[in-house]
């Protein structure tokens, strides 16, 4: 009982810190859309460039573009539905709602994308820059898949472990991919990371609450 209360309090503190951090970061981005920290970080990430790395970073980002994002959400939901995990399939479909949240914030902040000659643009995109929609989507979708791989013990380990490892690998490489490709600043991916964690928490909150009922 005491441990449960302590864990709940810690959760609230962490959530509060993430929310406050995202709000503060948004204010800083609005006040200073071109930060020297962002520029320095982009130059460091783009320092070593070669065609193979270009291709690899594009591949990492592919799942966040249309139709890649739609394909993996529908395919993931379909696979869980086929194997009788209907509620999990529904929540996988719900992960796509994170794109709506991101788009709304992008429109409100209206931060322009990085441009040449400030950074090297490997893959040009047109939508607003803050926060990174790729990072939000990867954390919510692949993060939830990782949670399911931990929770659903009926799925064989030889499936759960590789899926979880690949999902985590994509989550931690997508920020570097977006900066390397010249699609985002560091503050964009940081904002995406914080917003993605909030969306993932809400998704898991309702998922586990329904599971208890």
pLDDT confidence of residue 69: 95
Name the 3-class secondary structure at 63. helix
State the average pLDDT for the chain. 93
pLDDT, tens digit, for every residue of 118-130?
Answer: 999 998 888 899 9
The residues of the chain scoring below 70 in pLDDT are: 1-5, 210-213
Q: Report domain extents, the chain.
A: 53-212
Could you write out the DSSP letters of every residue in 102-170? HHHHHHHH-PPPP-TTTS--SS---S--SS-HHHHHHHHHHHHHHHHHHH-TTS-HHHHHHHHHHHHHH
Catalytically active residues are 134, 184
pLDDT confidence of residue 124: 85
């Amino acid at each position: 009982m005491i441990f449960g209360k302590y864990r709940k309090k810690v959760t609230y503190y962490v959530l509060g810190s993430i929310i406050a951090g995202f709000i503060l970061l948004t204010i800083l981005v609005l006040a200073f859309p071109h930060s020297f920290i962002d520029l320095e970080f982009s130059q460091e990430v783009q320092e070593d460039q070669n065609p193979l790395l270009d291709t690899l970073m594009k591949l990492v980002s592919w799942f966040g573009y249309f139709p890649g994002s739609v394909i993996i959400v529908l395919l993931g939901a379909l696979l869980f539905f086929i194997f009788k995990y209907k509620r999990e399939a529904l929540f996988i479909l719900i992960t796509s709602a994170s794109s709506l949240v991101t788009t709304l914030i992008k429109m409100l902040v209206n931060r322009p994308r990085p441009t040449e000659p400030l950074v090297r643009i490997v893959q040009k995109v047109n939508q607003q820059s803050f926060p990174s929609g790729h990072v939000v989507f990867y954390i919510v979708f692949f993060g939830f898949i990782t949670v399911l791989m931990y929770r659903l013990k009926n799925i064989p380990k030889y499936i759960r472990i590789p899926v979880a490892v690949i999902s985590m690998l994509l989550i931690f490489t997508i920020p570097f991919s977006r900066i390397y490709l010249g699609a985002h600043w560091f503050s964009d991916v940081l904002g995406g990371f914080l917003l993605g964690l909030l969306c993932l928490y809400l998704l898991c909150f309702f998922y586990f609450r329904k599971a208890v009922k």
